[in-house]
Amino acid sequence: TLYFMSDHHIGLGSNDLFFTKKGEKDQWSAPINLGFPINGEYHEGAMVVSLDGKTAYFSRGNLAENAQRNDLDIYTFELPIESRAQPMGFVKIIVKDAITLEALVVNVEIQSTDERSGTKSQFVTDEEGSILIPLEIGKNHSFNVNKTGYYFKSERIELSEPLLVEEAYQLELFLDPIVPEVAEEEKPIVLRNVLFETGSYAL
């Protein structure tokens, strides 16, 4: 969901606040004015929506020709259901060496398990082995972590708790280094993100 200010579209005064939503084929819907009493004869702008997807903040002021642009007031309101955004949460991933416990710079691949388009997001952890990623609440997400010299790691989490819009969900992962010598008892590699359609063996 994209919220923006504009004086180009038909509005109620100076700049008004609008929103548009991206559809399944990555097409944006026609912009919709948030309407009165959010928009009025004055200038409305600088809108920010909280992670819960329904609490919004914006500025309002009279931006006449000689008015000061910093002479603005900040307002808050609850978005109508039809104009709310998808609630978001944060996931903090920390990756370490399973033996030395040292932080690792690794590649992290994320995909929503109910995403049929196959779209994946790529990230890289920082020097402390951590990364903070915003993800949609109410969906399952799969994480694939890989680094040269280490065994592949996969995990899956479900972001369903409302509290996650305020506090980050923390996931600590330990990568096992690949040892050249074959151990007497080989350790199994667990793949938690083997996805397939219901009633089908096709991956």
What is the C-alpha to C-alpha distance for residues 169 and 160, in angstroms, rounded to an integer? Answer: 11
**Tens-place pLDDT, residues 161-175:** 655 556 678 889 999
Q: In what order do the strands lie in the sheet with 153-159?
A: 121-124, 107-112, 139-146, 153-159
What is the C-alpha to C-alpha distance for residues 160 and 172, in angstroms, rounded to an integer? Answer: 19
**Considering the entire predicted model, what is its pTM?**
0.62
Per-residue pLDDT, averaged over 66-78, amounts to 72
Distances (CA, A) of 60 to 6, 11, 39, 73: 13, 15, 9, 5
Most confident of 77-81, 89-93, 100-104, 132-136: 100-104
